[in-house]
C-alpha cells in the first residue's frame, strides 16, 4: 500500500495526477497508465481509483469533461497541475537530500 509518509499526496495520488498530465482519461485508463508507468510496481485497486477520482474532483484537482455510458472522462485543472508540481518538487528535494547524505563524508 502506498501510504502517505509526510507530503501532501500518497504514491497513488501522485501517479493519478501524473496520469492526467498529458491527456484526458477515464478511471480505467488511469489504472492502466499507472501500472504501465511503474512497470507493475503499483497496481491501483478499483476502490482506490473510484475514491480518488471523487476526492480529486471534489477538491477541484480534476474536472469531468465527458460522460459516455459507464465511462467518465476527466482532465487536470490548473490547481491539480500546481499540486502535482509542488509534490514533484518536494520529492526532488527528498531525493536530493538523500543522495547528498550518501555522498558526503562522515
Partner 1 sequence: MSKMKWRITPVGAFDIPALERWLEKLAAKGLYFSATLGFLACFDAGEPAEVRIHLEPLMSGTDTEDSELRGIYESAGWRFLGQWGGGFSVYLNDDPKAEAYTDAEALDYSLKSLIKRRLVAGVGLAIVNFMLLSLYWNALPLGLMDLRYFPYESMSDSAFFPFVLGAVGFFFVDLAYLINLALLVRYRARGAAGRQIRIGWLRVLGTLFLLPVIVNTVYIFFGREYDPYPLENSGFVTLTEIEGDDFRLSGDTMFNMDFISHHDAPLSAETWYFQQYGSFRQPGVIPNDTPCLEIRIARYLIPGFASGRAEEYTRIGWYGLGELQGVEPDCGFDEVYLSRGELGSRLVLVRGNTWIYVKYVGQKNLLDFLPSFERMAEAL
For 35, 87, 89, the CA distances from 20, given in Å and listed in that order, are: 14, 15, 18
For partner 1, the binding residues (CB under 8 A) are: 1-4, 10-13, 26-28, 31, 42-55, 67, 69-72
Query: How far apart, in whole angstroms, are the C-alpha atoms of residue 57 and residue 80?
Result: 10
For partner 1, the closer CB: 42 or 91: 42
Minimal distance, residue 38 CB to partner 1, in Å: 12
DSSP state of 31: H
Q: Which is nearer to partner 1, 54 or 97 (CB)?
A: 54
Nearest approach, Cβ of 95 to partner 1 (angstroms)? 21
Amino acid at each position: 500500500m502506498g501510504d502517505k509518509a509526510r507530503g501532501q499526496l500518497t504514491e497513488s495520488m501522485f501517479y493519478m495526477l501524473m496520469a492526467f498530465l498529458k491527456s484526458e482519461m477515464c478511471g480505467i485508463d488511469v489504472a492502466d497508465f499507472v501500472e504501465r508507468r511503474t512497470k507493475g510496481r503499483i497496481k491501483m485497486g478499483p476502490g482506490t481509483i473510484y475514491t480518488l477520482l471523487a476526492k480529486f474532483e471534489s477538491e477541484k484537482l480534476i474536472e469531468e469533461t465527458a460522460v459516455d455510458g459507464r465511462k467518465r472522462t476527466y482532465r487536470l485543472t490548473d490547481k491539480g497541475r500546481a499540486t502535482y508540481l509542488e509534490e514533484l518538487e518536494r520529492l526532488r528535494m527528498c531525493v536530493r537530500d538523500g543522495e547528498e547524505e550518501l555522498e558526503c563524508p562522515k
